[in-house]
């Protein structure tokens, strides 16, 4: 049985879109996975800031899935900006929208956006029986008019992890949206249903995930509360109960985000430590 974990955290976005807690998210999560005995240090790869280009993320995702077989455990955690990405047809007109994560070189071109369909292509050939957890602490929001808060140091700092859409793209998107009824394809749709897999997002599709300052450190509000629960309740807590508790903790702390949990129903009732293979 092989274990592999890939954790990607990006703070250093340009054009005033920088974040502060994403690298801390993935380093703390990686330490937790090792401390709890779920992975060895050699099983884990971190990709952060300027190294987290589109090409390098693809290379590391290939490493993550390559050679996997039933019983293997895979773990993918992304902390950074997310967005709704407009897909165009052959003549340049908008044809659809997909949720996407934003690499460090994200520039609103298809070459530098990792969308639902691209994740689907990467994960679709994973064999049945692979235990796969995917955590994304980013915005998958359809509310493209939401403003980006200014950076504030210390207590009270909260910034949405949503890449703001340029005005020209936003105009085309809004025009197209007025004539369609389908919602953007969520990243969760890239999780193959045959896997012992689970996808947990930092928020619902019409919300934003907060970059925050909690207990004297910058972090993702979702990742911080998730790690806290895993430390307090252990890795055997069922994923469904874990999500419920994290949602309650975020609500109590005043964060307007509700993490979602999707995946194989047979695995959601188990915890990370148990795996939950069927």
3-class secondary-structure state, position 12: coil
Catalytic: 219?
Answer: no
What torsion, rounded to 10 degrees, do the Cα atoms 8, 13, 17, 18 define?
70
Contact criterion met (CB below 8 Å) for 137 and 223: yes
Of the residues 60, 81, 140, 262, only one is catalytic, namely: 81
Of the residues 22, 99, 102, 139, only one is catalytic, namely: 139
| Cα(83)–Cα(103) distance, integer angstroms | 11
Contacts of 213 (CB under 8 A, 6+ apart): 20, 21, 153, 154, 155, 156, 157, 158, 219
3-class secondary-structure state, position 170: helix
* H-run or E-run covering 267: helix 265-268
- Phi, psi of 268, rounded to the nearest 5 degrees: -70, -25
Catalytic: 81?
Answer: yes
Contacts of 150 (CB under 8 A, 6+ apart): none
- Phi, psi of 83, rounded to the nearest 5 degrees: -160, 175
The residues that are catalytic are 81, 139
């Amino acid at each position: 049985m092989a274990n592999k974990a890939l954790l990607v955290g990006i703070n250093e976005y340009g054009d005033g879109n920088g974040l502060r807690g994403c690298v801390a998210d993935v380093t703390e999560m990686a330490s937790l996975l090792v401390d709890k005995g779920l992975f060895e240090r050699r099983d884990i790869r971190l990709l952060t800031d300027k190294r987290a280009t589109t090409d390098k993320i693809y290379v590391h995702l290939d490493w993550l899935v390559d050679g996997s077989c039933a019983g293997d455990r895979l773990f993918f955690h992304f902390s950074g900006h997310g967005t709704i990405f407009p897909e165009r047809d052959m003549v340049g007109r908008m044809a659809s929208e997909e949720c996407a994560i934003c690499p460090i070189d994200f520039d609103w071109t298809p070459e530098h956006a990792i969308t639902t369909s691209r994740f689907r292509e990467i994960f679709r050939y994973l064999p049945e029986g692979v235990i796969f957890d995917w955590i994304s602490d980013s915005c998958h929001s359809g509310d493209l008019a939401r403003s980006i808060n200014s950076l504030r140091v210390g207590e009270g700092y909260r910034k949405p992890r949503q890449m703001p859409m340029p005005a020209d793209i936003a105009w085309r998107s809004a025009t197209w949206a007025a004539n369609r009824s389908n919602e953007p394809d969520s990243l969760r749709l890239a999780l193959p249903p045959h896997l012992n897999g689970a996808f947990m997002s930092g928020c619902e599709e019409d919300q934003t995930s907060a970059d925050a300052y909690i207990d004297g450190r910058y972090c993702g509000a979702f990742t911080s509360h998730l790690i806290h629960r895993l430390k307090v309740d252990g890795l055997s807590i069922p994923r469904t109960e874990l999500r419920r508790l994290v949602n309650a903790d975020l609500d109590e702390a005043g964060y307007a985000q509700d993490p979602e949990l999707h995946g194989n129903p047979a695995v959601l009732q188990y915890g990370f430590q148990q795996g939950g293979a069927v």
